[in-house]
Chains A and B, each alone.
Chain A
Amino acid sequence: MKESDKTKILIVEDEFLTAKFFEYKLKSKNFEVLKICANGKDAIESAIELKPDFILMDIRLEGHIDGIDAAKEIQKHLSTNIIFVSGYSESNFLDRLKEINYLEYFSKPLDFNKLIDLLNKNKPQKLKT
């Protein structure tokens, strides 16, 4: 499979080991990891620039912009599938999450099989050139 045919994913995660594990697992399942971002600002800029198919977004990040604010900002510029993966429960952010169109909310530790199923079900169809 060519790199351009693969589903592109942006990982936003401030825990280095966790981010590297996600990257390894996704790559092993034939997904393209565009970049790992550790803070909100980087996540916004990278998303706008790289236009990923999915963003795996942690909520608690380095810096002043958390994952929810970053997602909100990203969605102002492009339409992309955002999957939250956080140690916090979804119930903690119900009010803020109402304002965002997101695909799923996974609680850590991530059951990777569920993530892979979700990605496969929702990955965009690539046109062959």
Chain B
Amino acid sequence: MKKYKLNYKLLFYISILLFVICLILFQYFYQIEKQNKFEEIQSHQKLHAKQAIKSFEEMFNNWNGLLSYLTNDKKIKEMNFEGKKLINKIYDIYKNDLKGITRTDKNGIITYTIPYYPNTIGRDISKQKHMIKLLDNHKPVCSDVFKSVQGYDAIVIHYPIFKNNKYDGSLAFIFNFKNITRSILSEIKIGEKGKTWLITSEGYILYSNETFAQNKSIYQVFINDSERLLLAKKMLTGKEGEASLNHTKTGDTYLTYFVPIKILNSFWSLGISYSESEMTSSLSNFRKKLLFLFSIIFLGGIFSAYFGIKGWIIVKEESARIKAEQDAKKSETRYKSLFENINVSLFQTNINFELIKANQYFIQLFMYNENEIYKIPFGLLFNNNDDKAELKDILLKQGSIKSKELLMVKKNGDKFWASINAILLKDENENNTSILGSIRDVTERKDYIDILKKHIEDKDLLINEVFHRTKNNLQVIISMLELQSILSDDLKIQNIFSDMIKRLHVMSIAHKQLFQRDDLSKISFKKYIEEIFYYLSDYYKDKSNSIELRFDIDDFDILFDLALPCGLLFNEIVNFLIINSKDDSRINLNLISKKEEETIFIKLKSDFYLNEKDNLLNDNKFGLGLFFSLVENQLNTTIKKSFSDNFTIDFSFKENLYNERI
């Protein structure tokens, strides 16, 4: 069954992927929250600014309304007792907001002031910047911060007074702008680090929650802070806008919303800033929660992946197990069916050869019935008591038995030869569990083999006898020829006999070599030629001339029928060369024989010089010429002969001229 393993590498990659997804989602949600926070703060900024503007507008509308009313009042125009009484009363009511009220004539000379400053009456203020405008266009005017004749910094609104439609001076409220701005702006602050400032159109800081900056010029306060100075200058343009600046001291970034407040002919600019770091730190709780949430998601994801993979493995293994079981059941069913129905005697035993199971053929083979076969000892089926132990030894050593032939015994005592095949079965842990085997009755086959063996032995004996008789007959013939030659005194006749005897020896050498071969068809050509030469060397050892033979013969086998003519020709040539050479001469003979594919090439060369060619070439005589003809006819070839400079013959023939005899 296939085993699945937890793939830690896959789990690692899933974890990395999950981590990246969590990180991206974390960033996404965090940025959304941050953006929302920004927008919320920005809306707070604008809301605060609107509230402040509204407060200032309402305040100045009230002041303008009051001034408009007063400057149209006859008592004020005349500035009589009743008029002064009214002004005093007004001052008493608003003295928290007003530092004083002043009446000027048409030339810009102070005619009355409350609180009363004796030195101020009769002072000419016509050269003051706002007074120049008033005297020029006779319209209400608001000053920037300026040093009043009373001696303090002030902001003033002058309203013109007309008598009989002619300009007749002005009534001015001198504001306690510190109180005014503080009352409106002190509550406006975003966060702990948030800043609020109000500057006039000329850069005077009317209000700041940074005490060091209050009531000073921006050019004085921010002389070393170029970024804030730049922001302040943007505010002095009188337009609404947003800007961010880096606080040089803290390194913090402030995001500022600024908006102008219209006051008569002038404006003030209100700036509300908040700290980005503070805003970001205000998100820390959210960040922690989000981090916690994604940590949970990440860990949950890893656990899910881990247990998911585990679960998948369990499901796969379970599926594989179920399939393996089903296969095993099918296999078992098939095995049972095969075991019972196959036309072979099958058995299964435990490792001690106690029968577990046997099919019908096995039971029938031993002539027992099904009840008996399981009750008798398995060893009883063997003729030899030691056979069972021997089989067990073989199985334990080799794991199987192949075609072991033993004598076995049937129920009725009949013995038969059985061929046993068996294998040792093992469990998953390689422990021996049982033996499965088959038994075949081979008595009939064994009988046939014995008969065949006997036939072969008889045939061998016959062949042996034929060879023996052949060689014996050759010996008898040689003996007859030898004895016959004794009777003749004629040397020529004796030579004829001795030539015949040598030829018979050459034939007997071939017979000897043939009998030593198993195939009884071929002999070694090299060995045959060598042995002929040794025989002839021995034969002529008493002669004064000698022959030196150099062999270059491939080691190949040749049919007996082809070897014999070659051997006889070789014998004739050696005899011829020795007999026809001068005494004490040394004859040189080279024999080259090669086999290429199915053709055998033979070349024989000697430095022997031949004078009497006719003797050699006369095929009709029983001499060398006859053996040339023998070879040419029997080997179906033509011998190339050359005797002009030296003695050379050259021929070739097919090795398959004859079929193998056996």
Of A21, A107, A108, A109, which contacts B483 at CB under 8 A?
Answer: A21
Instruction: Tell me the nearest residue of chain B to A20, going by C-beta.
Output: B483
Binary CB contact string for chain B from 453 to 480 against chain A (1 if under 8 A, 0 otherwise): 0000000000010011111101110111
Q: Are A88 and B464 neighbours in the complex by a CB distance under 8 Å? A: yes
- Report chain A residues within 8 Å CB of B538: 111, 113-114, 117
A107 to B514, CA, bound (A): 13
Interface residue? A5 (CB, 8 A): no
Instruction: Tell me the nearest residue of chain A to B470, going by C-beta.
Output: A87
Q: Are B516 and A91 neighbours in the complex by a CB distance under 8 Å? A: yes
- Report chain A residues within 8 Å CB of B505: 109, 111
A61 to B: closest C-beta gap in Å: 12
Q: How many A-B residue pairs have CB under 8 A?
A: 65
B467 to A: closest C-beta gap in Å: 7
- Report chain A residues within 8 Å CB of B471: 87, 107-109
Q: Are B541 and A113 neighbours in the complex by a CB distance under 8 Å? A: yes
Interface residue? B436 (CB, 8 A): no
B323 to A: closest C-beta gap in Å: 65
Q: Are B480 and A87 neighbours in the complex by a CB distance under 8 Å? A: no
Interface residue? A92 (CB, 8 A): yes
Interface residue? A1 (CB, 8 A): no
A128 to B425, CA, bound (A): 84
Tell whether A108 pairs with B475 under 8 Å between CB atoms, given A60-B468, A89-B515, A89-B516.
yes
- Report chain B residues within 8 Å CB of A22: 479
A97 to B480, CA, bound (A): 30
Residue of A18, A87, A109, A113 with most chain B CB atoms under a 10 A cut-off: A109
Instruction: Tell me the nearest residue of chain B to A117, going by C-beta.
Output: B538
Tell whether A21 pairs with B479 under 8 Å between CB atoms, given A89-B515, A109-B471.
yes
Q: Are A21 and B478 neighbours in the complex by a CB distance under 8 Å? A: yes
Interface residue? B69 (CB, 8 A): no
A87 to B475, CA, bound (A): 8
- Report chain B residues within 8 Å CB of A113: 538-539, 541
Q: Are B483 and A17 neighbours in the complex by a CB distance under 8 Å? A: yes
- Report chain B residues within 8 Å CB of A89: 467, 512, 515-516
Q: Are A17 and B468 neighbours in the complex by a CB distance under 8 Å? A: no
- Report chain A residues within 8 Å CB of B541: 113
Binary CB contact string for chain B from 500 to 525 against chain A (1 if under 8 A, 0 otherwise): 00001100100010011000000000
Interface residue? B342 (CB, 8 A): no
Q: Are A17 and B480 neighbours in the complex by a CB distance under 8 Å? A: yes
Interface residue? A77 (CB, 8 A): no
Interface residue? B243 (CB, 8 A): no
Q: Are A87 and B482 neighbours in the complex by a CB distance under 8 Å? A: no
B131 to A: closest C-beta gap in Å: 158
Interface residue? B486 (CB, 8 A): yes
Interface residue? B368 (CB, 8 A): no
A18 to B476, CA, bound (A): 5
Instruction: Tell me the nearest residue of chain A to B501, going by C-beta.
Output: A109
Of B464, B483, B512, which contacts A24 at CB under 8 A?
Answer: B483
Of A24, A92, A110, which contacts B475 at CB under 8 A?
Answer: A110
Interface residue? A123 (CB, 8 A): no
A60 to B541, CA, bound (A): 32
A29 to B: closest C-beta gap in Å: 12
- Report chain A residues within 8 Å CB of B486: 24
Tell whether A109 pairs with B516 under 8 Å between CB atoms, given A87-B467, A92-B464.
no
- Report chain A residues within 8 Å CB of B508: 108-109
Q: Are A109 and B478 neighbours in the complex by a CB distance under 8 Å? A: yes
Instruction: Tell me the nearest residue of chain B to A15, going by C-beta.
Output: B476
B540 to A: closest C-beta gap in Å: 10
Q: Are B479 and A20 neighbours in the complex by a CB distance under 8 Å? A: yes
A126 to B482, CA, bound (A): 31
- Chain A, range 56-114, C-beta contacts under 8 Å to B: 60, 86-89, 91-92, 107-111, 113-114
- Report chain B residues within 8 Å CB of A86: 468
Of B464, B475, B512, B515, which contacts A15 at CB under 8 A?
Answer: B475
- Report chain B residues within 8 Å CB of A117: 538
A85 to B505, CA, bound (A): 15
Instruction: Tell me the nearest residue of chain B to A88, going by C-beta.
Output: B468
B428 to A: closest C-beta gap in Å: 54
Binary CB contact string for chain B from 527 to 555 against chain A (1 if under 8 A, 0 otherwise): 00000000100110100000000000000
Q: Are B482 and A25 neighbours in the complex by a CB distance under 8 Å? A: yes
A113 to B482, CA, bound (A): 14
- Report chain B residues within 8 Å CB of A107: 471, 512
Of A24, A60, A91, A108, which contacts B482 at CB under 8 A?
Answer: A24
Instruction: Tell me the nearest residue of chain B to A111, going by C-beta.
Output: B535
A114 to B535, CA, bound (A): 9
A56 to B420, CA, bound (A): 54
A108 to B538, CA, bound (A): 17
A92 to B486, CA, bound (A): 35
- Report chain B residues within 8 Å CB of A18: 472, 475-476, 479
- Report chain A residues within 8 Å CB of B468: 60, 86-88
B564 to A: closest C-beta gap in Å: 15
B532 to A: closest C-beta gap in Å: 11
B109 to A: closest C-beta gap in Å: 168
- Chain B, range 573-600, C-beta contacts under 8 Å to A: none
Residue of B479, B483, B538 with most chain A CB atoms under a 10 A cut-off: B479
- Report chain A residues within 8 Å CB of B482: 21, 24-25
- Report chain B residues within 8 Å CB of A114: 538
A109 to B191, CA, bound (A): 137
A104 to B: closest C-beta gap in Å: 15
- Report chain A residues within 8 Å CB of B469: 87
Instruction: Tell me the nearest residue of chain A to B482, going by C-beta.
Output: A21
Instruction: Tell me the nearest residue of chain B to A114, going by C-beta.
Output: B538
Of B464, B467, B474, B515, which contacts A109 at CB under 8 A?
Answer: B474
Residue of A18, A22, A114 with most chain B CB atoms under a 10 A cut-off: A18
A91 to B478, CA, bound (A): 24
A sample of 21 inter-chain contacts (CB < 8 A) reads A15-B475, A15-B479, A20-B479, A20-B483, A21-B483, A22-B479, A25-B482, A86-B468, A87-B470, A87-B471, A88-B468, A89-B467, A107-B471, A107-B512, A108-B471, A108-B508, A110-B475, A111-B535, A113-B541, A114-B538, A117-B538
**Residue positions of A touching B, CB distance < 8 A:** 15, 17-18, 20-22, 24-25, 60, 86-89, 91-92, 107-111, 113-114, 117
The list of the 5 closest CB pairs from A to B, nearest first, reads A21-B479, A87-B472, A108-B475, A87-B468, A87-B471
Given A87-B469, A87-B475, 5 additional A-B pairs, CB 8 A: A15-B475, A17-B480, A60-B468, A87-B471, A109-B504
